[in-house]
Amino acid sequence: MAETKDLGMILDAKIPIIVIESPDERRVMALLLRFAIHRGLSFYEWSVTRGLHLGGFGTAPEKGGELTEPQELLQHIAARRGPALYALCDFHPYIVDEPKNVRYLKDIALEFENLENTVVLISHELQVPRDLGRLTASFDLRLPPAPKSKRPSCPPDTLPHRAATA
């Protein structure tokens, strides 16, 4: 699949922040987990409702479920050595007009060679702040095509008509 190859190239290029826009969060997580396993990376998932938790394998994060606040999460990532893949779901509201969070992401990205942590921002739509532009790669995971119906379709003029009852 071409999109799997494209995402693999982005990860192999060691770009510290990846933005994935997709309405299919489960599919994105499954894809990221496959990449983490294949590359021997710890894999963590975060959402504001569940906090940080182990998404596949690696060392369970200390206080992971307690890390529901974006700044605390970013501090945690900045203080941990990888290699690890951190999938942050619906993080877009926390970088709009949030200069401290943007700075934390930038610090994590600039320390990539030492930390080896890749942050993946997953959302249905996300505008990357200009400060992070050169440190970020965007990836659009499209929904798979809808399965074709196995029922033969009938042109409207060939459908059976019902007689009106009085």
pLDDT digit string, tens, across residues 55-111: 876 777 777 678 899 999 999 999 999 899 999 999 999 998 899 999 999 999 999
pTM more than 0.75: yes
Whole-number pLDDT of residue 87: 96
Residues 6+ away with beta carbon under 8 Å from 44: 52, 53, 54, 55, 58, 61, 64, 84, 85, 86, 87
Q: Which domain holds residue 105?
A: 9-143
Average pLDDT, the chain: 83
Whole-number pLDDT of residue 108: 96
The H or E element that residue 53 is part of is: strand 51-54
State the total domains in the chain: 1
- Any domain includes 158: no
Whole-number pLDDT of residue 79: 94
- Any domain includes 24: yes
- Any domain includes 150: no
Whole-number pLDDT of residue 88: 96
- Any domain includes 19: yes
Q: What is the pLDDT of residues 118-138, one digit of tens each?
A: 999 999 888 888 888 899 888
Q: Contact at 8 Å (CB) between 19 and 92?
A: no
